[in-house]
Structure 1
């Protein structure tokens, strides 16, 4: 594909463009500055992609990239993280490594049980009650970039839908998400930005965060990279949690007429790759398919969204097998074979293309 045909999503995941954004590679900087001069019509896409990428990296610049890189790696050392968070951080169960695509995350996804929570009157909006004006959808196997009227940037993962409120950016800023999206919210203290999901509502003023709320998954996740968010539960308990950067809140999907008990709520440290500054939870925005100590049903959900296929798990014996790996250019067959090498299972492809794991 020619560079002038690149979409915003292609730019974000391009290694040369990433180096241009960080301005730590003279060749990349020269190439993209020359490209912009020759293709001024791509300036808007370049600016949007650059904004997204810098947000993913905490808004870092060339200067603090060079000054803080070693310090960052040291700060994310597994031992130091455990020491900093003391007894509240616990290591997950041992992970079976996959094939030749090993992960060495320096920040470990650790959980703790939250105790006393604050109370307030929740702002609940059920799906059928949401006053939708516009809807955006990213088909499975693709991504979609959306720029909202207030300047907020949203990147939708495959199989995700974003509904925009009928009165968006007038009295408030409300959207509804089904699936996964990365948000870079434009700051506005007078009009809080609220993301509605079936399990919880996320309220922000201006921040950078990721939400994963696919309906087929047993849990909903909110990962915060920058700023702060307030997460309120949709279980009629009136509870809320304030989330700080470098943390992920995990909530179980709420069944009708049920409430979330405190020991089902988990707060986790975001996981980081050891070789760079990237957060594993947002790998999908860089065209990386990553699993980090994830059970097979969640692995299957990501495969479905990533490759645009339908995979079903029929053998319950594999429900609790966990995987950690990252893929970039592998096709579906290569990914499945790699998974088999870690924890053997059988699969077959039906005539309609559907895959059954048995």
Structure 2
């Protein structure tokens, strides 16, 4: 990369982090991120809450500290990719130290005060436990991360922490018996189906599935969001039905988001291949493609995406990329107990990128957004008030 180009990228990275980037600059930065996977990985690490300091003074690093920090970033982001080391270390000199020096220049601005801990006003929504509904209609609250065996006449279920593992019980009965796992707000859960398929269920979701798969297909019904790592079985296709669409696979990894209140259904493919079908259309996805449609719509739109943005939730992180503020806060409402009030309607459309641990205190998430110097928050009861900066 030529020095002139690298200087421009450094400037755009700084403007992005401080919220001062304009539309043209955002287009240039987006193009740079798409040029190479290493660019995108570097960008995500730089904007991550785990990397950005809590205040600008902490960004004053000595050359030795800078090198040490960069080595840590490289080990976390590019482990086992030794071929890239020389190129990555060049990025350290090109980006990291100049970026920190630029942030040091900004310390003359008034620091944004940290919002106080909101343990009382804004709490995580873990008010009810996930519910397992058995085929006979009985409900089992999964209240504690205990280890226990749940037995019925049709299956054996091993519960370990926040994971359910099914083992089929041999039986002459060929009737298909269903269980339903329901995940309330503020929770997520994992389960392994009897065929070895692994499913991650996100908050406010439910999955209806057979305790044992019989017949020519393996079929489940999803409401909300789920990530599927399907056990390969070419003789028994796996089908996910969700809000008017069907996703058919043989063995692959993909994410389906189909919350009824959002009225948009997206299927994001990580590995393998899937068929996505609604009432009028059918498409085949290859890795890193996403299909988007509505329950009533005819067409299915297909686009190439960075899958990390759509499956990051299974690793315990909130990841947003140029996402409307209103969409970000709506997503957070699935995890925290709060309402939102905007002083100006146009604030809803401000785009932000965020990469932060879901276990962070809610105030830390708001502080991360405030440090862009584009918006301010105040808390009144359990209402988050959004203001101009």
Normalization by structure 2: what TM-score?
0.50
Q: Structure 1 CA distance, aligned partners of 2:244 and 2:325?
A: 22
Q: What SS does structure 1 have at the residue aligned with 2:333? A: helix
| Worse overlay, 222-231 or 198-207 | 198-207
Q: Structure 1 CA distance, aligned partners of 2:245 and 2:82?
A: 35
Q: Structure 1 CA distance, aligned partners of 2:341 and 2:221?
A: 29
Report the alpha carbon displacement of residue 302 of structure 1 after superposing the two structures with TM: 2.2
Q: What SS does structure 1 have at the residue aligned with 2:287? A: coil
Q: Which residue of structure 2 lines up, in the alignment, with residue 283 of structure 1?
A: 312
Matched, 1:70 2:99: no
Report the alpha carbon displacement of residue 156 of structure 1 after superposing the two structures with TM: 0.9
- Distance verdict in 2 for CA 1:139–1:308, change over 3 Å: farther
Q: Which residue of structure 1 lines up, in the alignment, with residue 303 of structure 2?
A: 267
Describe how 1:118-137 pairs up with structure 2 within 5 A: 133-137=178-182
Q: Structure 2 CA distance, aligned partners of 1:133 and 1:171?
A: 16
Report the alpha carbon displacement of residue 165 of structure 1 after superposing the two structures with TM: 4.8
Unaligned runs of 5+ in 1: 1-63, 78-98, 100-130, 272-278
Q: Structure 2 CA distance, aligned partners of 1:134 and 1:356?
A: 41
Instruction: Give the CA RMSD over aligned residues.
Output: 3.2
- Distance verdict in 2 for CA 1:282–1:181, change over 3 Å: same
Normalization by structure 1: what TM-score?
0.54
Q: What SS does structure 1 have at the residue aligned with 2:233? A: coil
Q: Which residue of structure 2 lines up, in the alignment, with residue 294 of structure 1?
A: 323
Counterpart of 2:360 (choices 327, 330, 339) is: 330
8 Å CA contact retained: 2:319, 2:355: yes
Aligned length: 221
Report the alpha carbon displacement of residue 322 of structure 1 after superposing the two structures with TM: 1.4
Q: Structure 1 CA distance, aligned partners of 2:282 and 2:274?
A: 10
8 Å CA contact retained: 1:139, 1:308: no
1:200-225 superposed Cα distances (whole Å, 9 cap, x missing partner): 21111111111122222242221111
8 Å CA contact retained: 1:140, 1:309: no
Q: Structure 1 CA distance, aligned partners of 2:338 and 2:181?
A: 22
Q: Structure 2 CA distance, aligned partners of 1:152 and 1:331?
A: 33
8 Å CA contact retained: 2:323, 2:352: yes
Q: Which residue of structure 2 lines up, in the alignment, with residue 10 of structure 1?
A: none
Counterpart of 2:292 (choices 223, 246, 250) is: 250
Unaligned runs of 5+ in 2: 1-77, 92-111, 113-175
Report the alpha carbon displacement of residue 320 of structure 1 after superposing the two structures with TM: 2.0
Q: Structure 1 CA distance, aligned partners of 2:298 and 2:218?
A: 27
8 Å CA contact retained: 2:194, 2:211: no
- Distance verdict in 2 for CA 1:250–1:311, change over 3 Å: farther
Q: Structure 2 CA distance, aligned partners of 1:137 and 1:143?
A: 10
Which structure is higher in RCO with an 8 Å CA cutoff and minimum separation 6? 1
Matched, 1:240 2:289: no
